[in-house]
Amino acid sequence: MELEDLILVSVDDHVVEPPTVFDGRLPAKYAELAPKLVRRDDGTDAWVYGQEVVQNVALNAVAGRPPEEYGFEPTSFEQIRPGCWDIDERIKDMDANGVLGSLNFPSFPQFCGQLFARTPDKDVALAMIRAYNDWHIEEWCGTHPGRMIPCALPVIWDAELMAAEVRRVAAMGCHAVTFSENPAKLGWPSLHSNTWDPFWAACEEVGTVVCMHIGSSSQMVITAEDAPIDVMITLTPMNIVQAAGDLIWSPVLRKFPNLRIALSEGGIGWIPYFLERIDYVYHHHKAWTFQNFGDQLPSQVFKERIITCFIDDNFGVESRHHLNLDNITWECDYPHSDSTWPHAPELAMKHFAGVPDAEINKITHENAMRIFQYDPFAHVPREQATAGALRARAAGHDVGLRTTRK
Amino acid sequence: MELEDLILVSVDDHVVEPPTVFDGRLPAKYAELAPKLVRRDDGTDAWVYGQEVVQNVALNAVAGRPPEEYGFEPTSFEQIRPGCWDIDERIKDMDANGVLGSLNFPSFPQFCGQLFARTPDKDVALAMIRAYNDWHIEEWCGTHPGRMIPCALPVIWDAELMAAEVRRVAAMGCHAVTFSENPAKLGWPSLHSNTWDPFWAACEEVGTVVCMHIGSSSQMVITAEDAPIDVMITLTPMNIVQAAGDLIWSPVLRKFPNLRIALSEGGIGWIPYFLERIDYVYHHHKAWTFQNFGDQLPSQVFKERIITCFIDDNFGVESRHHLNLDNITWECDYPHSDSTWPHAPELAMKHFAGVPDAEINKITHENAMRIFQYDPFAHVPREQATAGALRARAAGHDVGLRTTRK
């Protein structure tokens, strides 16, 4: 495989929502209640919704920023790349990075739409979620057909409404929904509760993948108050192992045998060890804990049903035959600080040295296409979909580092 | 390598302390204050010390118990194998398991001697720690020379006294001390504080290894209140990754360049992924987090200074060349529930299929001997130290499962 021939589909990127999300998408009676992006006295931009003010944190939109300028301070839209929030600019940034397709997670509403879940009037909240999802599917993903994989917000406060929204957006072509890696940490029932069953059932029915992104339990790993930030940055993705353990031992996957769950930004190099550990615990303790996986092992359930992905994980790729090759996907994490933009193809090639082409193709795009029911080639001819062709099209697009300090 | 020829040294086992620990080991004025093992009305045994009552949890002494009878209920000494607390019986159990050497962690005082740290009169507390360490070194480890690797309790409430005790026991041949995987979670200063510097300096000076055992921050991984116990059992050892992250980014290893730290019961299969992750964070974020490892990488510091070990970790052994082969050790975890007793040699052979003898020898005993300054062959001729020779000596010793229910 040559770098030019890679076809890259990223299953984990992020949209910084533009001010127009709700324009013309709400019932007239709710239009005035929509979240509004406002310029604050300090020059930063923030979403204002009811009594809530949500700032955009710089570290979540640093693509193209010199690393010396990474940080947690709030930002204005002028300080971030237009590709963070402008779909036309985003496509150019994807082209320049050789990336064909992209699944985007939300920013200001949080991964599970917690902002809307806190709305006292739940009719209003539901209208906001639907408007957001309509915008996401029609505008963010529909403007450049074949380039974006839609991913819906969940109606997390009501599992029946949640199921209905999953079915509604599936009819619009959306087969991914965000959820929490641990809803119990957000104050909702845990994965061990049957509360979510209507939601799981709907996802299973319409073939929608439940995406649990790292950090979606809002539980950062803080080892000590005086620990440097590097500790948290190192451990946050590794925290997903807790979600994996919680999920495998929960009834969810056994009760809904066709449900699939993605561990977004979860990495893959830790998984072979985890699978060996979970089978060891099963063999060693089931006699008194009464776990029952029938004729399967916990590791088999994981391999069949859990969608994995990685940004930069040489060891994980080297260990890929301990995973299910059909469920490994790739991601870019644009525009977050762990992103490999605009050098994704170069880093991918480093991972893929010695990997057969058929395996590379599964990991880079074929698995994502099948799993998310995403067919870019209906819109983009295959020969125009390669990293080489996309980059050629983006020739002249500025991808240099730009200072954002004033 | 044949099974019979393995020489197995376990760097992580546990002693359930016998009632005689403090007999004749305290200054006369404190003798009456010693912890006492008492039979309770419900038939279980517990240590009583001042106002505190410490029960022995069954799951921590289940070697030889049928898995159906594992559980968290308190036990009496009659319900656990005598090898848990009787040194002569322990040696027989080791022989029957083909294990030459063993490093034992404390039970009732907790990993960091928290029980004594809570004593209001710190002169009393110090006397208890010293008496405990004297018993551990002289009786538990001294009765059968060459079989036990001593490991001291720390004087955790005072870093200067802590340093003095490290030096005192080193003079008695003890070159391991238990410590917490995260003292901040126990209410003491974190690894990022300079409070511990006298302790680190003493350990470095006398070549004592600081052992951070899983669970020694008393932070079990509870994903949700209604999560089954299997989740916690699966995740507890994986939690050590937090200690590893905390440690590498702390000043400790850079400030004390000869200090070595063991991640006891930490497993090894997760480490290659972690090392790649930590270097990625360093490269990607150091420009704004100001971390500085000089001409090294964080992964190199880990490899040189962190002692790793595993019970049952096929993937880890397969991935051993991503670790430092000179710092990988082996453990049995007798008599805890994850222990491989009495089948350790058979399981070890499963791991070691295809591994060159020289590498097996490093992992099974040579590394542990060097790192802990432990020389069994001064007391046990090499030809009598093999799994085959030890088992032959133990012929007839009953290692069958015994019910402990009444």
| This prediction's pTM | 0.94
The stretch B373-391 carries a mean pLDDT of 98
* CB within 8 Å: B277 and A238: yes
**Among all residues of chain B, which has the CA nearest to that of A189?**
B224
* CB within 8 Å: A288 and B70: yes
Domain A3-17+81-393, what fold? TIM Barrel (3.20.20)
Place A405 in a pLDDT band, splitting at 50, 70 and 90.
Answer: low
The stretch A122-151 carries a mean pLDDT of 98
pLDDT at B358 over 80: yes
pLDDT at A406 over 60: no
* CB within 8 Å: B225 and A277: no
- In chain A, which residues have their Cβ closer than 8 Å to the Cβ of B246? 223-224, 227, 231
| In chain A, % of residues over pLDDT 90 | 85
Per residue in B47-70, pLDDT (tens digit) is: 999 999 998 776 677 788 888 887
The domain B3-30+81-393 belongs to what CATH superfamily? Metal-dependent hydrolases (3.20.20.140)
**Among all residues of chain A, which has the CA nearest to that of B182?**
A223
Q: Which residue in B226, B242, B312 is closest to A192 by CB distance?
A: B226
Q: Encoding tokens for residue A399?
A: 């991808």
Place A49 in a pLDDT band, splitting at 50, 70 and 90.
Answer: very high
pLDDT value of position A25? 98
The stretch B180-188 carries a mean pLDDT of 95
pLDDT value of position A59? 63
Nearest to B216 by CA among B181, B260, B266: B181
* Domain ranges, ordered by start, for chain A: 3-17+81-393
pLDDT value of position B77? 84
* CB within 8 Å: A225 and B184: yes
Q: What is the DSSP string of A6-48?
A: --EEEEEEE----TTTTTTTS-GGGGGGS-EEEE-TTS-EEEE
pLDDT at B174 over 70: yes
Interface A-B: count of C-beta contacts within 8 A? 199
Where helices occur in B227-375 by DSSP H, the ranges are: 229-235, 240-249, 252-255, 271-289, 298-305, 314-318, 344-351, 357-361, 367-371
pLDDT at A168 over 70: yes
Pairing of strands B8-14, A148-149: unpaired
Average pLDDT, chain A: 94
pLDDT at A23 over 90: yes
Name which of B72, B235, B283 to mutate to probe chain A: the one with the most chain A Cβ atoms within 10 A of its Cβ. B235
Place A342 in a pLDDT band, splitting at 50, 70 and 90.
Answer: very high
Radius of gyration of chain B (CA): 21
- In chain B, which residues have their Cβ closer than 8 Å to the Cβ of A280? 312, 338
* CB within 8 Å: A272 and B267: no
Name which of A284, A288, A290, A297 to mutate to probe chain B: the one with the most chain B Cβ atoms within 10 A of its Cβ. A288
Of A213 and B402, the one with more pLDDT: A213
Strand partners, A52: A49
Q: Is B1 strand, coil or helix? A: coil
The stretch A373-380 carries a mean pLDDT of 98
* Least confident window among A3-12, A77-86, A119-128: A77-86
Name which of B249, B299, B322 to mutate to probe chain A: the one with the most chain A Cβ atoms within 10 A of its Cβ. B249
